[in-house]
């Protein structure tokens, strides 16, 4: 599923939701997670929430029962953290550079621009 994140991409500071211990100290994980829990809601339909659940289960990092127990706020927070990390990964690149690195397997490639809008795909 492709989710339009244009407003978030343009307005948010992704380091608020995805930052390292080197940047924020030992509590970086807790700080960014708490921030993400209060972030704008990007998963605003049952289909988007379902796509995020399927993505999380497909990653194999969490048991499906655990993922299915997450509430909508937690799912959105995880999505916000993922999107933010990928936005930070793109830091300063043009879309062309990002696409080249994506094709080379050096960046996630989940972000893309189409018709002046920014999208995030939960495929793969």
Q: What is the pLDDT of residues 91-114, one digit of tens each?
A: 989 999 999 999 999 998 999 999
Q: How far apart are CA 59 and CA 53, in angstroms?
A: 10
At 7, which helix (H) or strand (E)?
A: helix 6-11
The reported pLDDT for the residue numbered 76 is 98
Q: pTM surpassing 0.85?
A: yes
């Amino acid at each position: 599923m492709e989710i339009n994140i244009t407003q978030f991409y343009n307005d948010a500071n992704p380091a608020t939701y995805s930052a390292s211990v080197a940047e924020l100290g030992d509590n970086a994980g807790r700080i960014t997670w708490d921030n993400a829990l209060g972030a704008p809601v990007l998963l605003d339909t049952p289909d988007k929430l379902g796509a995020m659940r399927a993505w999380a289960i497909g990653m194999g990092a969490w048991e499906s029962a655990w993922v299915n127990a997450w509430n909508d706020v937690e799912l959105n927070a995880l999505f916000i953290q993922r999107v933010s990390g990928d936005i930070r990964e793109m830091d300063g690149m043009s879309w062309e550079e990002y696409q080249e690195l994506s094709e080379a397997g050096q960046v996630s490639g989940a972000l893309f621009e189409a018709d002046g809008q920014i999208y995030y795909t939960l495929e793969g």
